[in-house]
Amino acid sequence: MTPARRRTFFNFWLIGPAALAIIIFMVIPLAMMAWISIQSRSYGGGVHWGELSAEAWLRFLFERNLDDSLSWSVTYTVIIIRSIWLSLITTVLSLLVGFPTAFFMATRDRKWRTLLVFMVTLPFWTNLLVRNYAWILILRDYGTANGLLMWLGITDQPLPLLHNQFAVAVGLTYSFLPFMVLPIYSSLEKLDLRLVEAGFDLYASRWQVLRNIIIPLAIPGIIAGSILVFIPALGSYVTPELLGGGKTLMIGNLIGHQFGAARNWPFGAALGLFLLALVLLAMTVYALRGRERGGKP
């Protein structure tokens, strides 16, 4: 065997197990979802194999009337837009809270940084379901938040803080905030504070130093953190189910409902593929931005 062929054979065995795992656990399931999405629905659950139908994809924008005609419907479009909107809000809120937190962590002495990183990751040690139930206790009518507001005299009656988009946004932000803090901290940890001192020596204001020195150096962490928050928030299931109270459905809840109570597997598969397309779009934007940064001198 020639050295070149031996190297090819060796490389094949190196990537073979990973390629096999990707095919079995990703390619095949996605192919099955795509195939199910164009099958005819079985009202008892499952599909009628071999009966091709585009009904699942038409349901995104239309609904079937009793006379078998199609009429325009925005029901599922509203859910999709709401999911994207809440995910964007979550990303913005996480950035507004996470950037100052990460900057504070990165500017402490090294002996404190490990402790601060540990404190940021500490919520991950608790089950997500338990954390969302904790927010129910905080946001309910006579919970901690309303009790504090009434004690301070800000309001006389409990505010509707639970089972709405506000509660979902708060829960999602709390759940995914560490995904924003840690990438930004990783970028700012390498910040040379002498650059900041030089900016002040050149009579730059604090805003100018932040805008022209600190934020540009933190851009890679901001972009990575935004992607890491937006993608899981878009497909979130537990938080909208508990804090939304069934009134604030997102794509993840709709997919679960289609495979569960509604027994509409084709539409559930189509929704899953649509969610995957949104995730791939976000990852493509991130990759293109990374290529543009890498191409700059």
Percent of the chain residues past pLDDT 90, beyond the cut = 43
C-beta of residue 180 within 8 angstroms of C-beta of residue 226: yes
pLDDT computed for residue 63 by the predictor? 85
Token reading at 238: 């537990």
pLDDT computed for residue 297 by the predictor? 39
Percent of the chain residues past pLDDT 70, beyond the cut = 97
* Alpha-carbon distances, residue 116 vs 19, 95, 105, 154, 182 (angstroms): 38, 18, 6, 33, 11
Residue 286 has pLDDT above 50, yes or no: yes
Domains within the chain, CATH numbers bracketed: 76-295 (1.10.3720.10)
Beta bridge partners of 52: 39
Angle between helices 265-295 and 251-259 (to 10 degrees): 150
Residue 296 has pLDDT above 70, yes or no: no
Tell me if the pTM is above 0.85.
yes
pLDDT in tens, 82-110: 999 999 999 999 999 999 999 999 888 88
- Which string of b and e fits 124-149 if b means at least 16 CB within 10 Å? eeeebeebbeebbebbbeebebbeeb
pLDDT in tens, 104-159: 998 888 888 889 999 998 888 888 899 999 999 999 988 899 999 999 988 889 99
How far apart CA 87 and CA 223 sit, in angstroms, is 15
pLDDT in tens, 183-228: 999 988 888 778 888 888 888 888 888 888 889 889 989 988 999 9
